[in-house]
Chain A
Amino acid sequence: MQLYLPIAEVSVNAFLLLGLGGIVGFLSGMFGVGGGFLITPLLFFIGVPPAVAVATGANQVVASSISGVLAQVRRKAVDFHMGTVLLIGGMAGSGVGIWVFQWMTRLGQVDLFVQLSYVLFLGLIGAMMLQESLRSWFRSQKGGPVRRSHVHTWVHGLPLKMKFRASGLYISVLPPLAVGALVGFLAAIMGVGGGFVMVPAMIYLLGMPTKVVVGTSLFQIIFVTAFTTLMHAVTSQTVDILLAFLLIVGGVIGAQIGTTIGVRLKAEQLRILLALLVLAVSVKIALDLLLRPSELYSVVPGILP
């Protein structure tokens, strides 16, 4: 069934959109990533203009994140205190990120900058996660001594300590603020919710238990992507509500299924799968940059800013 999208101005198969939304929602519910780094390239691929894909993708992530968070809240796997602290840092970081983004746009190399950040951050994080999760998976297979969940380092000597009951942490608010700011910065530059950066940062930098990471990450993503959607709707008018609706219907169902399967998997397995996914996207973008494109030219409606 073909459906004409009023803002994107293309006609797309409605079931294809439901399917795309479903796949991304599934991954979102399973790993606690918003899925922005997947939905945007997929929408480009089916012919939706890039600007509309970025803005509408953000709107879709809002819905799947809310659906995911509600499922996690019932499981008491959301650390609202931690989420709020991360969010405060995130808002500051995204403010700086938007400013840098505009600066890169003026220099005329924003596409390259975005692609390079994708390759760099996704590659780095994917490799780190894969290496760590494989190691701990092998250790658990052998049945060796269990490592302590977190090690006391200089991080624990910082002032402004706060209790994060759901995470079972008593640490300074400074590291979560910094992590939030870094993620907000990257999110603004790369046009994504930042879950794929946030999840590993929470596990490895803050030492949060994997159980609460997914819900807390989703909680924070809701606000970052809601803010992004609103900004796009007002400034560039590129949110396609009909496109978003179809992606969302598929997405929220996918997210529920993903969450159900996610809790059955072992934490290490979950992390290995996410690491592989992140690495795959990184390699794909790297290849786009390295291989000679079949068409050297591209035609974009509208004049460069």
Chain B
Amino acid sequence: MKWLAHLHGVTCAAILALLPLPALAVESIVAGLSQNRVSITADFDGSEILVYGAVKRNAPAPDDPIEVIITVEGPATPVTIRKKDRRAGIWINTEAVEVDAAPSFYAVATTGPLRQILTETEDLRHRITLPRVIRAVGAATEDGGPDEFIDAMQRIRLSESRYKVLQGAVELTEQTLFRADIVLPSNLTEGEYRVRIFLTRGGRVVDAQDRVVGVRKEGLERLLFNMSREQPLIYGLLSLLMAAGAGWAASAGFRILRS
């Protein structure tokens, strides 16, 4: 049966290949990543993903230039956005908006200004620019106009380098070869990081590709993290034992030093 299913898949692919392609789809992406997994070890201090590739053509390139957009999106987590206000002379948190899922990391690198190389419609469809990515999740949670809250989150996370807009960071050579370095910060959240590569011409997406980079804690980090989740009581007692041991050792050590 497995064999049959496989055959079925092959047939489908063959049929798809035979279908007349839209005129624009003569260009496609051949891409690679420098690494498809990132290990967080004790000395982890950020990482870099090199995204590289080439534009494959069946026909000579049209006159208007090809553009490349690369996005890297970290796993989504729920967030709470709070706003402070002055009440009776002191600044306190008055309002809060909860967002079900906001990407913990998002970087968008391009060959040129996003406004010129991507139309609104295409952005809406593929959710490429930062406001689109955040809006898409924010809109689902609150209807009482959380716009200023979402803007604030975007502003704060941009300043923390959790979100990055790197216009012009993709190098494109001879309208064919492209590469971009995306720096991942040291405060990474574990999970699957989705890398998307888009080719656009005249603001329209002509081809897109999806890749996944797995970010995982390894070694000591993995061991401690798992233990804190699976054996919290033993982990807690171990923390206390370590504290007691260190406290005693320091006291004993200093007594020897003094005498």
Q: Which of B78, B232, B250 contacts A237 (CB 8 A)?
A: B232
Q: Is the interface of A mostly helix, strand, loop or mixed?
A: helix
B residues within 8 A CB of A109? Answer: 92-93
- Whether a CB of chain B sits under 8 angstroms from the CB of A253 is yes
Counting contact residues on chain B (CB < 8 A from A), the size range is 35 or more
A residues within 8 A CB of B104? Answer: 301
Alpha-carbon gap, A272 to B89, bound state (A): 31
B residues within 8 A CB of A3? Answer: 42-43
- By the criterion CB–CB under 8 Å, are B84 and A296 in contact? yes
B residues within 8 A CB of A6? Answer: 217, 220-222, 224-225, 228
A residues within 8 A CB of B242? Answer: 63, 241, 244-245, 248
The chain A residue with its CB closest to the CB of B40 is: A4
Interface residues of B in 149-195 (CB under 8 A from A): 149, 152-153, 155-157, 186-190
- By the criterion CB–CB under 8 Å, are B224 and A7 in contact? yes
Interface residues of B in 62-101 (CB under 8 A from A): 77-86, 89-93, 96, 98, 100
Given contacts A6-B220, A292-B91, A300-B79, contact A237 B228 (CB under 8 A): yes
- Whether a CB of chain A sits under 8 angstroms from the CB of B240 is yes
- By the criterion CB–CB under 8 Å, are B225 and A4 in contact? no
A residues within 8 A CB of B46? Answer: 11
Given contacts A242-B224, A296-B83, A297-B153, contact A248 B246 (CB under 8 A): yes
- By the criterion CB–CB under 8 Å, are A230 and B240 in contact? yes
The chain B residue with its CB closest to the CB of A25 is: B250
The distance from the CB of A219 to the nearest CB of chain B, in whole angstroms, is 12
- By the criterion CB–CB under 8 Å, are B45 and A2 in contact? yes
A residues within 8 A CB of B90? Answer: 112, 289-290
- By the criterion CB–CB under 8 Å, are A297 and B152 in contact? yes
The distance from the CB of B154 to the nearest CB of chain A, in whole angstroms, is 10
A residues within 8 A CB of B225? Answer: 6-7
What 0/1 readout, one digit per residue, does chain A (263-305) give for beta carbons within 8 Å of chain B? 0000000000000000000000000111111011111111110
- Whether a CB of chain A sits under 8 angstroms from the CB of B11 is no
Give me the interface of B with A, judged by CB distance under 8 Å. 40-46, 77-86, 89-93, 96, 98, 100, 104, 149, 152-153, 155-157, 186-190, 217, 220-222, 224-225, 228-229, 232-233, 235-240, 242-244, 246-252, 254-255
